[in-house]
């Protein structure tokens, strides 16, 4: 399964459970859906960041390691972020495969000096 398939599965899910999101008959409809995605994504990034903050505070004050349960919670938030990224990509009619490969190429050139200095 590649990202294209995953994007398609997410769109099918959204069409089934949240059809109003995909009723895009005006610019305002599109903007409403885009705002929904932006707020959802920011919320999930916030949840992830809050977990990191709490983990950092606990380790700073009490020491110790990171329990597997905490790692699972972090992974769960990363999954939520990924889902919103898929929804955003679908809304913007972008292919994440192509976008990722293009950006990776750009970043290889951009960060070449760091690689050369190792």
Residues at the interface with Mg ion (CB under 5 A):
44, 47, 77, 80
- Least separation in angstroms between CB 14 and Mg ion: 17
- Cβ atoms < 10 Å from Cβ of 37: 20
- Identify which of residues 80 and 97 has a Cβ nearer to Mg ion in the complex: 80
- Identify which of residues 14 and 44 has a Cβ nearer to Mg ion in the complex: 44
- Least separation in angstroms between CB 29 and Mg ion: 26
Our separate counts of H helices and E strands in the chain read: 5, 0
What is the radius of gyration, based on Cα positions, of the chain?
18
- Least separation in angstroms between CB 30 and Mg ion: 25
55 contacts 71 by C-beta, under 8 angstroms:
no
């Amino acid at each position: 399964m590649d990202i294209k398939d995953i994007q398609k599965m997410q769109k099918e899910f959204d069409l089934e459970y949240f059809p109003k999101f995909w009723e895009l008959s005006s610019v305002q409809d599109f903007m409403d859906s885009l705002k929904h995605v932006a707020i959802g994504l920011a919320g999930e990034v916030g949840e992830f960041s809050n977990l990191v903050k709490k983990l950092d505070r606990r380790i700073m004050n009490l020491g110790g390691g990171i329990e597997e349960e905490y790692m699972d919670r972090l992974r769960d938030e990363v999954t939520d972020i990924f889902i919103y990224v898929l929804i955003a990509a679908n809304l913007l009619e972008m292919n994440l495969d192509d976008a990722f490969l293009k950006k990776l190429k750009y970043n290889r050139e951009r960060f070449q000096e760091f690689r050369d200095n190792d």
